Amino acid sequence: MAKLLTKSLFTAGVYCPELMWFSAFAKEELPEHSRAQLAIFEQGTRVGILATQRHPSGVRVDADDFKEYLDLTKELLSSRLPLFEPAFLAGRQYCRIDMLVPSNGGWDVVEVKSGTSVKEVNLWDVAFQVDTARRSGVDVQKAYILHINSDYVRKGAIDVDELFTKVDVTDDIEPFLAKLGQKTSELCRVLDSSRPKVTMLHSCQSPYGCPLPSLFPLPEHNVTQLYRSNGQEFIEQGTILIADIVDGAGLNPKQYVQWRAVTQGQPQVNKDALSKWLSSLEYPLYHFDFETFSPAVPLYENTRPYQRIPFQFSLHIEHEDGRVEHHDYLHPDSSDPRPQLLKALKILRGDGSVLAHNASFEKGVLNELLQAFPEETWITRAINRLVDTIVPFRNFWYYHPDQHGSCSLKAVLPALTTNGYDDLEVSAGDDASLEFVRITQEDVSDEERDRVRKDLLAYCKKDTEAMIDIVAALREACR
């Protein structure tokens, strides 16, 4: 039996036919989804279930196998009730529709998205569903995308009517429907073909990023690590290593610093610029870091979808005489973390530079806290004292070849010092967010909760310790 063209394969194939083939026949060769990506999928599922509350009389189509799904859908269509996840097969096209809602003697297709806007890939997705349903004999009259309303503010219980924005895309999908027949024929031919040839030069327009280039591991210090470049033009010329770029030709000034670092095998230091930046720091230095999570469906009163909710911070205060104090906070339960966190954070009041790595994040979170708690006027002064420790690295006043083109704390710390994150159980912000949600929103043992709290505290503390070490290393580089 020929491979069916499902809507997930179709939306992948529209932008990358090769990725569609691998997803259909060689999925085990593709990188596994990260924990953060899996969490996004799970969140989408939860949002979809929540959206069904807009139709209390609706029926979920649930069956044990493919044929039973189709048969049950056909049977339930006669009920004229809203259907959730009905299945349709037309030729080789197969899809399950989020919601099929009766309307004026026909039906409306409603696609639920956990995002906050309509994207082109969503229109292809809906067009595929509408075409498949119509060819199955369903009178589809309208097509809608139901996405999260980013302006919604929670007041009491979740209002599912206000949480979502319903967008009529009936007219918008017409150009996509006009191309659909040709597109599905092309993709079916790909599915019927042998394994496509993919090289390290592979590129596509996939809106979700294409994992196929990862099938070709590249050596250390390769041209894909050039700052803000994918190195494609060099690979096309047969140049794989940064060191093989003759005289650094074709590089911008920052990439040229990378080239010098790699070819010379040592850090590149702009002592004048670096010394000027270091001299601008005012003691005491407040080395500061937030951890946040951003639920699609607001958990707390007066919060919006995807609003950043800080649940943890670490703060090392470095005095000019070398003394260092450490302060931190990690919220203990499922209540709104912000009020208690702000009480602990008042230690930021005072004088001295507030250092954060990629400080635009901390600045954004502080501004949102100020909007929610305008009486905390000290936040404004803390924001005005922010200094970004990424600046020397983003400007390439200091560059170590072991940074591999990255300015992130995870890349800079081990390059400049003997420290790193490898010994931590939690070693990334996304994982910290997921772990906090897990131990506060789910049923876990006290032992597990205590273990994870220790891991979270250790991770956030490492970030602010890292900034102390990095500033010290930069001072040493200027001597």
Secondary structure of residue 325 in the 3-state scheme = strand
71: which 2 tokens? 């048969």
Q: Which two tokens stand for residue 472?
A: 């010290």
CB atoms < 10 A from the CB of 328, how many? 16
- Asked whether residue 203 carries a pLDDT value surpassing 90, the answer given is no
Q: What is the pLDDT of residue 327?
A: 97
40 has pLDDT over 80:
yes
The one-letter amino acid code at 18 reads E
Which of these ranges, 338-347, 415-424, 457-466, has the smallest mean pLDDT?
A: 415-424
Query: pLDDT: is 448 or 236 the higher one?
Result: 448
290: nearest Cα among 236, 244, 221, 348: 348
- Tokens of residue 469, six digits: 């070490």
| pLDDT value of position 404 | 95
pLDDT of 1 strictly over 80: no
| Half-sphere exposure at residue 390, Cβ-oriented, CA atoms within 13 angstroms | 16
Instruction: Output DSSP code: residue 460.
Output: H
Torsion of CA 332, 336, 340, 342, to 10 degrees: 130
Q: What is the pLDDT of residue 312?
A: 98
Before 298, cis peptide (omega within 30)?
A: no
> So what's the pLDDT on residue 201?
83
**Residue pLDDT, tens place only, 296-323:** 999 999 999 999 999 999 999 999 999 9
pLDDT, one tens digit per residue, over 229-251 is 888 889 888 899 999 999 999 99
Q: Return mean pLDDT, the chain.
A: 96
Region 207-233: what's the mean pLDDT? 90
Is the pLDDT at 257 greater than 90? The verdict is yes
Residue 402 reports pLDDT greater than 90 = yes
Angstrom distance (rounded) from CA 441 to CA 412 = 34
DSSP codes of every residue in 424-451 = -S--SHHHHHHHHHHHHHS---HHHHHH
Contact 452/435 with Cβ under 8 angstroms? yes
Query: Is residue 187 within 8 Å of 124, Cβ to Cβ?
Result: no
- CA distance linking residue 104 with residue 390, whole number of Å: 58
The per-residue DSSP string of 180-196 comes to: HHHHHHHHHHHHTS-PP
pLDDT in tens, 61-117: 999 888 999 999 999 999 999 999 999 999 999 999 999 999 988 999 999 999 999
What is the pLDDT at residue 261?
A: 97
Query: What does the pLDDT read at residue 125?
Result: 98
Percentage of the chain lying above the pLDDT 90 cut: 91
> 329 falls in which pLDDT band (50, 70, 90)?
very high
Q: Are 397 and 473 in contact (CB under 8 A)?
A: no
What is this structure's pTM?
A: 0.92
- What is the per-residue pLDDT for 479? 85
pLDDT of residue 311: 98
